[in-house]
Amino acid sequence: MAFETGTVTDYRDLMDKLHTFLLAEGWTINDFNLAGTLTGVSNLNVTGPGIVGGQRPNVSIQTSANSGVNAYAWKVCCHQTYVSGRAFGTQPNNSPIHYFLLWPNAMTYWFYVNDRRLVVVAKIGVYYMSMYAGFFLPYALPDEYPYPYFVGATTNQLLVYNQPDAGLRTFCDPGPGAASYMARQTLGWESIQNANFSANVVDSYSGAGNEGAVVWPFRNLQVEDDFQASRDVAWSFFRLMRPLLNGVMPMFQLHILDGANETLAGVLDGVFITGGFNRVPEQIVEVDAQDYRLFINVNRNTPKHYFAVEEA
């Protein structure tokens, strides 16, 4: 997996850097135009190399801005194929549109790219915004599940990045609406929701995940609020886990539980849940000679809100 980190001047420059990085990693650039102003519309449409004998991921990104409220974002979606000349969001079997909230000033960024998917993390002050677009790793062969898409970002609408709302989240523990989606084997899109919108800026889990799909173990298929219910034991354990008796902090793959279909669809590629006790965002930890970088769920800097990304 290829990795890059650096700084950009604004959310438009971030798109330019991603375009250059994807091109260097063998992705096909179907369409790219960078607007001359911050509020102008920039577009990036790319196709990943995929795997031998498998399908290729298609991702579209477009900038969106409302300078009056200081709201800037990428709109992100995936689709089955690319057709030249089609407007953003109208490609074949296009996913719902997700908003990756950013801003018009300098940011530190991290790109994680392989042949099947891309992950972007951007730091705005103490806020870590993150997105995932492309294929997850399904519990099926390529001919059985040709387009295992997972696409997730911050929220389902254009908002300022530091909007005080529990619904603004990472793709690992996604919020409501169109914040994250998966493509089923039938190519139908299913919403993935761990949390709700709420004025409570930390977490609001009541009623989330009783239908549709969730990302486990950040969320289980239960309707109880937070970890109040006794049968939420598995979920609350992972939320609160501390180091093992030998001092090692465990990491677990993030699974997609498709509740409506009653199936375990697969896992996110190169992204893991881990505890944050005695850890800090951006810290690199090593497991079996492999490096992983730690991030948090937007600005939620408590042990239960950490996740790790495999870093080459």
pLDDT tens across 203-258, in order? 887 554 456 788 988 887 754 444 444 444 445 567 777 888 877 788 899 999 98
Angle at 263 between CA 262 and CA 264, to 5 degrees: 140
Q: What's residue 206's pLDDT?
A: 57
Residue spans per domain, the chain: 2-311
The length of the chain in residues reads: 312
The span from the CA of 13 to the CA of 107, in Å, is: 10
Instruction: Supply the pLDDT for residue 229.
Output: 47
At residue 222, the pLDDT reads: 57
Instruction: State residue 230's pLDDT score.
Output: 41
- Between CA 113 and CA 27 the distance in angstroms is 10
With a CB cutoff of 8 Å and minimum separation 6, the contacts of 191 are 96, 177, 178, 180, 181, 212, 213
For residue 243, the model assigns a pLDDT of: 80
Burial grade of 119 (CB within 10 A; 0-12, 13-18, 19 or more): buried
Calpha distance 248→15 (Å, rounded): 37
Count of C-beta atoms within a 10 Å radius of residue 122:
23
Side chain identity, residue 29: I
pLDDT for 235 equals 55
In sequence order, which residues have a C-beta less than 8 Å from that of residue 9 and are 6 or more positions away? 105, 106
* Low-confidence residues of the chain: pLDDT under 50: 208-209, 223-234
Single pTM value for the model: 0.93
pLDDT digit string, tens, across residues 95-123 = 999 999 999 999 999 999 999 999 999 99
Q: Would you state the pLDDT for residue 260? A: 78
Q: Dig out the tokens for 72 from the structure.
A: 């800037």
Question: What pLDDT score was predicted for residue 224?
Answer: 47
CB neighbours of 175 closer than 8 A, spacing ≥ 6? 154, 155, 156, 166, 167, 168, 169, 193, 194, 195, 196, 197
